[in-house]
Amino acid sequence: MSRPEHLAPPEVYYNDVEASKYTSSTRVRHIQATMAERAMELLAMPAFLQQGGGLLLDIGCGSGLSGEVIQEAGHEWVGVDISPSMLDVALQEESQGDLLLGDVGEGLAFRPGMFDGAISISVLQWLLNADKIDASPIARLSSFFTTLHAALRNGARAVLQFYPESDEQVRLCMQAATRAGFGGGLVVDYPNSKKAKKLFLVLWVGGVMLPPPGYAGAVDTMQEQQLPRGLVGEHEDPDVVHGQQQVKSSGRRQIKGGKADKKSKSRDKGKDWILRKKDLYRKRGKEDVPTDSKYTGRKRKTAF
């Protein structure tokens, strides 16, 4: 099946018919909500914003499906999309966010430090596709990441889920993000599954986000942002970092793909840990989660 970005530019592909079909599909809505929820988890909003709510940017907001997840998390949001038809559907659905029509490949026209975070679901691959003779994916990526970096508060994160066609496209995205000043890297969920595998570019601006003056609650004292681990299947080793790569930027350590440090190998993987993982999978709607029994967590005897 052809990839949508190979068929037509996004503003053409997502016409009135396609936009309505996309939004009315139960399957699409479920997938979009699941990925948006994961993006919000990777966004790791600080406690003072979890309590009071922040202002987030939804890049490629479409008909507002991911915006619903942002709203449910207690945050306000601004959405930008290149498809007028998608935004019309969002208005019909009475989306709670402010909606803007625009091409993110030409840059984001927001004032500096406006947003407390940003998410994007299935958008970045469109910038990697040159649908015009004079279009340059590298230039479009540069404009996008540079203006996104400027629009985020110091310490804010951006989580961008996308479907690259090759490792070279991943490299181009990470390189553009580095040049724009971002720290962070690539997080891969379920790397050994063809169906469930998802790639998230998790980026941040500067260090830890500070609360507004007069805030009396708890403050995260962590001095350095850390790249989250990707999700793995139940029978995979969670202490192995599959495909985790961190962009190289000044003043930040670079984490290469491979095994995690030896200290993390001491993590308990007993019955309680397995039950927690199963409960998490069930909450995420994963099918075929094995039932709990008296044999859960037992070590199998080694056959000789």
Distances (CA, A) of 188 to 39, 129, 247: 12, 22, 14
Beta bridge partners of 152: 115
pLDDT at 273: 74
Q: What is the distance between the alpha carbons of residues 259 and 239, in angstroms, rounded to a whole number?
A: 7
Q: What is the pLDDT of residues 208-238, one digit of tens each?
A: 787 777 666 666 554 578 899 999 887 665 5
E strand or H helix that includes residue 33 = helix 26-43
In this predicted structure, which of 19-23, 134-138, 164-168 has the lowest mean pLDDT? 134-138
Residue 52: which pLDDT band, with cuts at 50, 70 and 90? low
Q: What is the pLDDT of residues 245-304, one digit of tens each?
A: 555 443 333 333 443 444 444 445 678 778 877 777 676 667 677 888 877 777 665 444
In this predicted structure, which of 41-55, 60-74, 176-190, 215-229 has the lowest mean pLDDT? 215-229
pLDDT at 250: 39
Average pLDDT over residues 42-69: 91
**pLDDT: which is higher, 16 or 244:** 16
pLDDT at 38 over 50: yes
162, 125 Cβ separation under 8 angstroms: yes
Q: What is the pLDDT of residues 86-111, one digit of tens each?
A: 999 999 999 999 999 999 999 999 99
HEC states along 269-286? CCHHHHHHHHHHHHHCCC
- Residue 35 DSSP code: H
Average per-residue pLDDT in the chain?
Answer: 84
Domain ranges of the chain: 4-266, 268-304
Q: What is the distance between the alpha carbons of residues 27 and 90, in angstroms, rounded to a whole number?
A: 18
pLDDT above 90 covers a percentage of the chain that reads: 60
Average pLDDT over residues 59-66: 96
Class of domain 4-266: alpha beta
Q: What is the distance between the alpha carbons of residues 77 and 51, in angstroms, rounded to a whole number?
A: 16
